[in-house]
Structure 1
Amino acid sequence: MSLLIKLIFLLPDALLRLLAGEAKTAGERTMSPGIQLILSLLEKNSIRRDITSINPEAIRNFYDKMAGVMEKKPPSTATKDHTIDVDEGTIPIREYTPGKLDDSGAALVYLHGGGWCIGSIKTHNVLCKHLANLLGWKVFSVGYRLAPEHKYPVPLEDCDRAFEWVWENAESFNINREKISIGGDSAGGNLSTSVCIKRKEEGRVLPQRQLLIYPGVDRDSGYQSMQDFAEGFFLNEHLMNWFTKNYIRSTVDADDFYVSPIRYQTPLDCRRLW
């Protein structure tokens, strides 16, 4: 399947459109023919069946195998793996050093997406290499513990501890502890801004910046985008709700601003949002 997906992206758009069939749209937006074809193939191979009925570990393994299939090959990037202590366990962190490191001493702590339930350092390995080389910074990718085995607030606390660990060891990493940012995609974006809120509430040092890539900042599913993409786009409303149900302990958690950070009313001191 991974080889087939790679081949699909080598085909011209006109052929992809012919193979994919009638264009799928939502509002004024039209899906890429390549993505549409891939979703169609997944459907025919039963991979898009109700994955909420599958063991989370099986979903994680599939995601890991597909990691990097659709991504551009990254520049050469040095990596080093670390393990840090967290409450009742340990978690991995991977340090990325770009080929050309700028002299600012800046760094980024990166939190992967995956609905708090899937995803790993491996699934975002290529992305973190690209980020390190694009920014000229060291990047630290965090393998926080996942739901449903580890529900809220465990993933948040792991990510907060990871940021603290990078900050505490800034000198040994040859980075400037005043220029450490935090970021992530989807659930990782949620965790990034929630770490900032947590540290703000507890009077601790904040990340310099937040890099938020389509972050999930509200557990309310009543938005227009949720209605537009409720069905037929792989990450559908049912799957989104499944992620949330696995992450939170009860419906009360859904109203917590650490789960829905858009509800936090106090301005954060992080000086920039990307």
Structure 2
Amino acid sequence: MLHPQARALLDLMEQRGVPPTHTLSPADARAFYRERRSVTQPEPGEVAEVRELAATGPHGTIPLRLYRPLGTSRAALLPVLVYYHGGGWVIGDLDTHDTLCRELANLSGCAVVAVDYRMGPEHRFPAAVDDVLAATRWVRKEAGALGLDATRLAVGGDSAGGNLAAVVAIAARDAGDLPIAFQLLIYPATDMRRGHASHTTNGQGYLLTSDSITYFHDHYIADPKHDLEWRASPLLQDKLAGLPPALVLTAGYDPLRDEGLDYARALTAAGNRASYVCFERQIHGFITMGRVLDEANTAVALCAVELRRALTSARR
């Protein structure tokens, strides 16, 4: 059964005539996503420090935002999560996920560096992949100057950001120059073919619809052949051994649920440590909605605990 709070949110959106994302232009969809966060997100929590930074990449400057958790000093060398926001590779930015990054920092005791990567349709695949890889390498290179511990670096993200985090973990393994200690994959998109059963069973009525998924896909992927590339569909990477430990979190009423589960299974089958948790009564995008969904706060706390445990273990 859908959680009553999620049901109430969906009913309210319908009553207020909230337009589906696929009916909006990318510019309007971005503005609407940014504006509506005040309705569902908690107030941004206080942290010890917020710094605006910029990394360099193959396509130009990449804006970053560094969060240091409450109770830490600038002198402390902190483990770090490099976080890639969700939004279908088309919408979302540093501000839409500001509250979540603050929560993850404070609850885990780790620093968080959020990445504002390039998006479609202006910058199509693989521009986002190029940006997040470059940004993560930059964070590792500059870690000492930023008060971060490069030996305890994790990657994470939600939805499209979860896809990018999975891709970064694979690319870093293959390159051998970017040690990653943990991957936090929150309802990740892992298969651009969009053929899993949950795309049908959950494709309408639960916020993220099949129409919006197609909208996001088509603004990001220029050539259908790219669907088969592992940098777009990490589930299709046939060599998944030797990857960092992972937490894969999904939602029961999410079209992406089954591909998230299959990715967790594939990680485990390849010999990696992977934990899988499904919030059976929730919808896609719920983790940022702690103002109206109690289970969002539970999910954030779970992610923070697993992040803290993984990066503490990495130090030993």
d(CA) in 2 for partners of 1:156 and 1:176? 23
**Secondary structure, counterpart of 1:38 in structure 2:** helix
Equivalent residue in structure 2 for 1:72, among 42, 48, 60: 42
Higher helix share: 2
Does the 8 A contact of 1:189 with 1:213 survive in 2? yes
Instruction: Write out aligned runs for 1:22-171 (5 A).
Output: 30-49=1-20, 51-77=21-47, 78-101=49-72, 105-171=78-144
8 Å CA contact retained: 2:132, 2:164: yes
Give CA-to-partner distance per residue, 1:156-213, whole Å, 9 cap, x none. 1000011011000011112211111100011100000101222223332231110111
Bigger CA radius of gyration: 1
Compared CA separation, residues 80 and 104, structure 1 to 2 (3 A): closer
Normalising by structure 1, report the TM-score: 0.83
Which residue of 2 is the match for residue 232 of structure 1?
Answer: 205
Instruction: Provide, for residues 210-268 of structure 1, a one-character-per-residue CA deviation record: whole Å limited to 9, x for no partner.
Output: 01111111113221211111111121111112211111121100000111101112234
Q: CA RMSD in A?
A: 1.8
Unaligned stretches of 5+ residues in structure 2: 248-316
Supply the AA of the counterpart residue of 1:43. Answer: E
Deviation above 6 Å: which 4+ runs of structure 1? Answer: none
Q: How many residue pairs align between the two structures? A: 244
Aligned letter for 2:157?
Answer: G
Matched-pair contact (CA < 8 Å) for 1:132–1:138: yes
Calculate the TM-score normalised by the size of structure 2.
0.73
Task: Write the deviation string for residues 90-134 of structure 1: whole angstroms up to 9, x where unpaired.
Answer: 221000010124967311000000111111110100000000011
The 3-state SS of whatever aligns with 2:157 is strand
User: Which stretch has the larger CA shift, 188-197 or 76-85?
Assistant: 76-85
Q: CA deviation at 1:271?
A: 3.2
Deviation larger for 264-273 or 241-250? 264-273
1:117 and 1:257 mapped to 2: Cα distance? 19
